[in-house]
């Protein structure tokens, strides 16, 4: 997978892309990152990529030309890649979104800054808009990193152990069960007996139960989503 990242701040990505899973995935050839500095696609000597808004008002707007030329450049090597804008106005990015993006051949991520991007870019050159939550960041860079990490770890082969993907939070609409490691007693706190029993069936049952309880307590909306899914099925018949 090739991930093109269009940004005014390529340096923002240096640490994260060089660290842990992302660096390993790239070194092993599962993913390539192409950082595109939007300013490199400006056509004025000050490399100005933003301008004042028509109609007046506060803040600056990203000019359409540099962004569209950067998008066209990315599309030359990835003609089918969805062009995704990170913005608080987008649809909510969820685990399911990450799973569907992991099936794409390549991705193009566009990080907005300032007050936003000229609307004409969104209308004709963007395929999808994603938000990582209902809060406003100064730009889409952190959001692009969230999407990148969530997607890359799902690419086949990137995580050694495929089982861990099936068991983790959200994989089955549940939060994950609690984990423990050595020592058996830590400052007076014990590991639950069942995990020391060696009885795999009991361990599995305990984990399922814990996941269910934890989901009910912390994220009852996930269990309601399930029930609504069932209801939907009945309505159709």
- Site for ligand ADE (CB under 6 A): which residue of 143, 150, 158, 175? 143
- If one asks whether residue 140 binds ligand ADE (CB under 6 A), the answer comes out as yes
CB environment 49-60: b (16+ within 10 A), e (fewer) = bbeeeeeeeeee
Q: Which stretch binds ligand ADE (CB under 6 A): 12-20, 86-94, 120-128, 196-204?
A: 86-94
- If one asks whether residue 60 binds ligand ADE (CB under 6 A), the answer comes out as no
Q: What share of the chain is helix, strand, coil (3-state, %, to 5)?
A: 45, 20, 35
- If one asks whether residue 215 binds ligand ADE (CB under 6 A), the answer comes out as no
Return the number of the residue (133 or 229) whose C-beta is nearest ligand ADE. 133
Greatest Cα pair distance, the chain, in angstroms, is 71
Q: d(Cα 59, Cα 52) in Å, to the nearest integer?
A: 7
| Structure token digits, residue 179 | 């984990």
Minimum CB distance to ligand ADE, residue 81 (Å): 19
Instruction: Round the CA-based radius of gyration of the chain to a whole number and report it.
Output: 22
- Site for ligand ADE (CB under 6 A): which residue of 55, 136, 183, 193? 136
**List of residues contacting ligand ADE (CB under 6 A):** 86-88, 112, 131-133, 135-137, 139-140, 143
């Amino acid at each position: 997978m090739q991930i093109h990242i269009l940004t005014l701040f390529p340096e923002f990505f240096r640490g994260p892309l060089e660290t842990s899973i992302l660096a390993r995935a790239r070194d092993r050839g599962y993913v390539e990152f192409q950082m595109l500095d939007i300013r490199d696609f400006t056509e004025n000597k000050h490399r100005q990529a933003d301008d004042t808004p028509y109609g007046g008002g506060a803040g600056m707007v990203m000019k359409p030309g540099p962004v569209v030329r950067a998008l066209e450049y990315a599309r030359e090597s990835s003609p089918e890649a969805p062009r995704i804008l990170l913005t608080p106005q987008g649809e909510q990015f969820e685990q399911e979104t990450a799973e569907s993006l992991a099936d794409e051949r390549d991705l193009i991520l566009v990080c907005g800054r300032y007050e936003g991007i000229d609307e004409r870019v969104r209308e004709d050159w963007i395929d999808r808009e994603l938000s990582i939550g209902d809060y406003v960041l100064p730009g889409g860079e952190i959001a692009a990193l969230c999407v990148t990490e969530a997607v890359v770890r799902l690419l086949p082969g990137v995580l050694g152990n495929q089982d861990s993907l099936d068991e983790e939070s959200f994989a089955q609409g549940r939060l994950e069960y609690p984990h423990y490691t050595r020592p058996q007693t830590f400052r007076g706190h014990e590991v639950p007996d069942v995990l020391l029993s060696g009885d795999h069936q009991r361990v599995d049952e305990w984990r399922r139960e814990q996941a269910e309880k934890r989901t009910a307590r912390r994220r009852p909306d996930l269990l309601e989503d399930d029930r609504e899914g069932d209801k939907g099925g009945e309505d159709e018949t």
